[in-house]
């Protein structure tokens, strides 16, 4: 159950933004409107997050009930909070790794000495 919650949290931090960036790029490509693409990306991201968060909460409740059924302590929201924090740290680390290694440079503008 924790692995499923972790996958859902990674989808929240990584999957949702990538999905809506892709959809927004297709909208911008077909309409030539950056505003329409940004508006759709914002609304779509918020709507998708509002759908995923209750699913994660229900998974946490199922995890709590399973622990109680086995006679173990109930930790409340702590498992979900831990999964969200760890997945957020991993998502940020992957973003930094992408910018520094795959992207080919620092994410901040750095003068290259050609003045």
Counted domains in the chain: 1
The alpha-carbon radius of gyration of the chain (Å, integer) is: 19
Q: What is the pTM of this model?
A: 0.74
- From the number of C-beta atoms within 10 Å of its C-beta (0-12, 13-18, 19+), residue 52 rates as middle
Span 17-46, pLDDT tens digits: 999 999 999 999 999 999 999 999 999 999
| 53 pLDDT higher than 90 | yes
Domain assignment present for residue 66? The answer is yes
Q: Which domain holds residue 73?
A: 2-90
Domain assignment present for residue 44? The answer is yes
Domain assignment present for residue 102? The answer is no
Domain assignment present for residue 104? The answer is no
Domain assignment present for residue 26? The answer is yes
């Amino acid at each position: 159950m924790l692995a499923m919650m972790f996958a859902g949290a990674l989808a929240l931090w990584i999957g949702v933004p990538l999905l809506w960036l892709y959809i927004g790029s297709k909208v911008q490509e077909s309409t030539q409107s950056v505003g329409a693409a940004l508006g759709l990306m914002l609304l779509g991201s918020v709507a998708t997050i509002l759908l995923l968060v209750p699913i994660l909460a229900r998974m946490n409740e199922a995890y709590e009930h399973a622990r109680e059924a086995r006679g173990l302590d109930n930790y409340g929201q702590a498992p979900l909070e831990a999964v969200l924090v760890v997945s957020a740290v991993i998502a940020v680390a992957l973003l930094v790794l992408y910018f520094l290694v795959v992207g080919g440079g620092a994410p901040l503008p750095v003068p290259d000495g050609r003045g």
